[in-house]
Amino acid sequence: MPKINIYLPDELAEGVRESGIPVSAICQRALETSVRRVNAIRGTVLDNLDGDDPTARLSRFTDRARTVISLAITRAREQRAATVGTEHLLGGMLAEGGNLALPVLRVMEIEPDRIGRELERVSATVGDGAERPAALRFSGSAANALELTVTEAIALGHDYVGCEHLLLGLVAESDGAAGEVLRGLGVDLRSTRRAVTAALTGYVHLRAQTAANAQAAPASADVGAMLATAVRHELRPILDRLDRLEQRADVPATED
pLDDT, mean over the chain: 77
C-alpha 212/C-alpha 112 separation (Å) is 30
**CATH code of the domain covering residue 36:** 1.10.1780.10
Residues 226, 108: Cα–Cα separation, whole Å: 15
- Confidence bin at 229 (pLDDT 50/70/90): low
Would you list the DSSP string of 176-220? SHHHHHHHHTT--HHHHHHHHHHHHHHHHHHHHHHHHTTTTS-TT
Calpha distance 88→69 (Å, rounded): 8
Q: Please, what sign has the CA dihedral across residues 25, 157, 47, 141? A: negative
Asked if pLDDT for residue 95 goes beyond 90, the answer is: yes
Q: Is residue 235 part of a domain?
A: no
Report, as an integer, the average pLDDT of 9-19: 80
State residue 108's pLDDT score. 87
Question: Which residues contact residue 219 at a Cβ distance below 8 angstroms, ignoring those fewer than 6 apart?
Answer: none
Q: How many domains does the chain have?
A: 1
pLDDT band at 63 (very low <50, low <70, confident <90, very high): very high
The answer to whether 77 touches 135, Cβ cutoff 8 Å, is yes
Under 8 Å between Cβ of 135 and 76 = yes
The answer to whether position 241 is within a domain reads: no
Asked whether the beta carbons of 183 and 207 are under 8 A apart, the reply is no
More confident residue, 51 or 182: 182
Residue 201 lies in a domain: no
- Report yes or no on 176 lying in a domain: yes
Banded pLDDT at 11 (limits 50, 70, 90): confident
Q: The domain containing residue 174 runs over which residues?
A: 10-188
Report yes or no: 106 and 125 within 8 Å, Cβ to Cβ.
Answer: no
- Indicate the DSSP class of residue 79: T
* pLDDT confidence tier of residue 12, bands split at 50, 70 and 90: confident
Residue 62 pLDDT: 93
**Residue 6's pLDDT is what?**
74
Cα–Cα dist 15/152, whole Å: 24
For residue range 149-197, list pLDDT tens digits in order. 998 998 888 889 999 999 999 999 988 999 999 999 999 998 899 888 8
Asked, for residue 243, whether it belongs to a domain, the answer is no
> How much is the pLDDT for 255?
45
Residue 181 in any domain: the answer is yes
Please give the backbone phi and psi of residue 243, each rounded to the nearest 5 degrees, phi first: -65, -40
Region 141-155 average pLDDT: 90
Higher pLDDT, 157 or 28: 157
